[in-house]
Structure formats: structure tokens, C-alpha cells
Structure 1
């Protein structure tokens, strides 16, 4: 079986390795150039391709259609997308003789769209996962090919959960590869009405609003904790990144629960929230650092 792979991030690295280990012939990999303004804390698809001597190119979203003649000439059995960040045009998907498949970091149909792990934590979910699905013009809308769930701990950060999702993605691809190699694509309906679509997140979305509940603040901190841009608040004229919070620490009796915002008592830092509950800030630092 021959494949063309669009890939980035840890999921891209790990799933590409799974294809190679299964004997899939990867004729071309399309990846992204690392953004100099982004904290790149994950594995490199380009480096893996260099090590494995796999042809690897980058392309802007506006020039993906320029790849169509090349892909038509390669005539791959499958096209895979593993955490590739651009929407792949339908004309490219049509170049796959059997199917074009995408790995998404949620339990579809839940959390279609961007930043699914971050959104799941932000919304206080206790479970997410990885889903391999048929690619269509509409994002994350095709039939489900395989799926593995993972738990989300009450204090786990997006990076920790993403590590679980990355491992789940490998389990999904390894489970379905025998069928794919046989030319058979298992599929079940992706019932979109039972899920929802979420857009991308920006650093500015990390601002803490202390009128929210303590659980909401804690979930925001977990969802965007470094190496993501981080939740932030103003204190003493400075913008502070709040990197770690707890809902379970003992609360001093003399906190003023009637005033939302930061209070420092005996060198401990607390955030008073809109539900008159408290988060203790265990780690924070100036945004300038």
C-alpha cells in the first residue's frame, strides 16, 4: 500500500511511525514550517522524514492545490492527515484511490474543529480521545473509521492530556491498519447533531475573568497552561501568567470572599471567584518572562 501523508506535531510523528512500522510505503509527506513565534515543544515530522529518507515538503494553505498534479502522478492508495493544520482541498482528497483519512483529537462528533483538547479541558470534560475519520470538504464530518477514549484528570493540563491523546491516536491507527492494508475501510456514521464545532483559540482568550466560577477559572488555567500561552490576570500593575491552580487547598479564614480577584495572605496567592469559591494560585510569573 502506498500513502501520501500530511502531518505535524507529536501525533504526526507517532502516526507516521505506525504507518512505516506496518509496511506502508509513504511516497511523500507534507508538513509545516515551524512558526518562530510559537513555542515548539513537540516532535518534528520533518526531522523524522530526514531520518527515514522520506520525501518531505512544506506548502502554504493557498498553494496546496499546486500539489494536485504531483499527487495524481503518485496515485496513492491512501491520503492521511495527522494533525495537519490546513484544510486539505477536495481535489487533493480525490487523489486517494481508496480513502483520505484524518486523525482528530477528540471523540467525534464532539469537539469538531480547532484545539479540541484545550476546549475539552476548558469545558470540564472528564473524557476525550482520538478519532480516525473519512475526510470530506466539511471539517471533521466524515464517517468514523476508528476511535479510542482517554480520561481527563481533574488537575491535568492540556499538555498532559495531549500526551494521552497522542498515544490513543497510535492505538487507533494500529487497530485499523490491518483492514486498511487489505483495502477495507471500516466506517460508522459521524452523527454531527450529537456534537458541536469549536473555533481556534488565541492568546488573548486566556484572560481570567474572576466573576466566573472557581471551576471555570481552574479549567481555563489547565487548558492553556505553558507551553501554551497561559491564562493571565493583572496584579499590582503587572500582567501575570497563572500556570497552576488548585481547588483543593485549605482556605484562610480571613480571605474577603465578597471581592472577586487576587488576594495574597501569608505569602499564599488566592483568586476569589464569582461563585464565592477560591482557587489557590500555586505557580505564576510575570508575562514579561
Structure 2
């Protein structure tokens, strides 16, 4: 039956790659893929959905699925399902209404918590101990349709956003593995989402990584691990120059906010507690250890 179910996939990033790979592994008939051109301003550290499509002979487009010509093409295809796996464009109602059996999205959180953009980064920044992945039907309101399946993943205190994203990606693939046969056979669950029990977060820009030394060392530590490699990083200023802090650790203690109270190790005062800086990078220079940074130019106060 699966071989006769026509599917259109919208996908990007590692989640898109793994979920498309899982569908293909189950013999799904993916008749068209919508993906994105890689941005020249973005670090491309993730797998290419386009390359996976080429390898499997799947036609693909990088234009917006909502464009009139694409909507017309979808009407001709008359897909049974549309799947969205980390596709970055909001899919309009006109498109959502086209597939015979529904349009579904794989979201990188345990919905209804962390609806919206970059949910993994937000979960780490907010100090959560768990998040997850959720497959749900798409409606006009983002991340709000009925839930088909979801799976939790843990966030360790030492995890970076990348560590968590890798866990979420693996969970997403498992969800597709479980859910696809049930969707095709009409036996998949459909659980209404209680939006009142959830939360919504918007997108993040590199400028949002500015460190506020008035916050606690724990909050600053969570920001640093939430936007460290391969993301743009949390940053501060030293003598008017931008400094990215890639790795740090929160400690107890007291000190004036932003003031360096020790150079061995490199400890900085915060609104509550101390922050040990372990790896950092002065703008225009290479990333270095705190010890090497101090040896070159001992800092006194971060702005």
C-alpha cells in the first residue's frame, strides 16, 4: 500500500535528511521535494537534503512551496500526504488543504512546549532538562495541529545545543519509523493539542547572543552552551572589541558584574555567582583557551 501513496516532502537540515531517509527506507513514494538553497551567510554544518534527493532520483525545487506555479503543480500531483521536516517557510492554508490524507510537520520539541522557531536552542538557553520531537498535523497556526506521535529526549547539564539537536534528530527519525505505516493504514493517533499548556518562542538572531553580566552565572552558562558551535556564539566586549565566549562553567562566589576577579582560572563576576571562561575568541582572531588569552593580554573587565 505504501508504494502507492504519493508523498510530497518539504525538508532541510539534519532532521529533514534523516526523516526523508527513513521514509525512503520504508519504500515511500516521494514524488517531489521542496528544500532551500544554502545561505552564503550561514555555516552549513548539516547534511544536504538536496544531495539525498539527487541520489534517489527525486525531483526537487528550491522555490517556495506557496508560489502559484508550485501550488498548481501540487494540484496536478494530488499527493496523499505532505510532510514538512525542518522546512523554513510557513506553508499556507491553500497548500495544507491539498493532500488527501493530510499535511504533517516534524517539530523539534515536545509540543505544546516550545512551539515556534529554534526550539532546541531555546530549551538549552532556558535551562530545561528535557525536550523532544513531535509529529503533528499542520494547521494555519504554527505548531498547533493534532499530535500523531512524540518522544522526549534528555538535556544533560553539560549538553550544548548541538548535542541536543543530535538527540532530537534521532528521535525524529524514530517517530517517522513508527508513524508512517500507521498513517498509511489510517491507524495513527490524532490527539488534540492543548495550546494553553504550552509556550511559544520566536526566532533568534546573532545579536541575541549578547551576554548580560547582571544575570546569574547559570543563566549566562546556559546562553553560552545554547549558542556555541556551530551557532554564532555568545559574546561580550573587552576594551570595545567583541569577544565570543565558546565555553564556560558556572561557579559559586561573588564579584562585580563583568569584572575579572581571577586570571588562573579566568573568573568573571555576574549578577549571581562566578563564571569560569574556558574558551574564547577575540573578533578577527582565532579561538583560544582562557590561559592563552590571559597570557597574551590579561583582561580586567568585560562590558
TM class by smaller structure: over 0.9
**What do the CA deviations read for 1:4-33 (whole angstroms, capped 9, x no partner)?**
000000000000001001111000000000
What is the match of residue 33 of structure 1? 37
What CA distance in whole angstroms lies between the structure 1 residues aligned with 2:77 and 2:209? 44
**Structure 2: segments with no counterpart, 5+ residues:** 286-303
What is the match of residue 286 of structure 1? 282
RMSD over aligned Cα, in angstroms? 1.5
What CA distance in whole angstroms lies between the structure 2 residues aligned with 1:88 and 1:66? 15
Counterparts of residues 153-232 of structure 1 (less than 5 Å): 153-232=156-235
Shift of 1:262: 4.2
Assess if the C-alpha contact under 8 Å between 1:65 and 1:92 holds in 2: no
Cα distance change of structure 1 residues 140 and 32 upon mapping to structure 2, 3 Å threshold:
same
What CA distance in whole angstroms lies between the structure 1 residues aligned with 2:102 and 2:228? 37
What is the match of residue 44 of structure 1? 48
**What do the CA deviations read for 1:235-286 (whole angstroms, capped 9, x no partner)?**
23321100011125xx8xxx8x3411141634432221101x0111111011
What is the match of residue 111 of structure 1? 114
What CA distance in whole angstroms lies between the structure 2 residues aligned with 1:24 and 1:183? 15
Counterparts of residues 18-97 of structure 1 (less than 5 Å): 18-60=22-64, 64-97=67-100
Assess if the C-alpha contact under 8 Å between 1:4 and 1:28 holds in 2: yes
**Structure 1: segments with no counterpart, 5+ residues:** none
2:270 alignment partner, one of 269, 273, 284 = 273
Give structure 1 regions of 4+ aligned residues with deviation exceeding 6 angstroms. Answer: none
Aligned length: 281
Shift of 1:287: 2.8
What CA distance in whole angstroms lies between the structure 1 residues aligned with 2:56 and 2:7? 15
Shift of 1:214: 1.0
Cα distance change of structure 1 residues 241 and 46 upon mapping to structure 2, 3 Å threshold:
same
Cα distance change of structure 1 residues 183 and 73 upon mapping to structure 2, 3 Å threshold:
farther
Assess if the C-alpha contact under 8 Å between 1:5 and 1:81 holds in 2: yes
**TM-score scaled to structure 2, two decimals?**
0.89
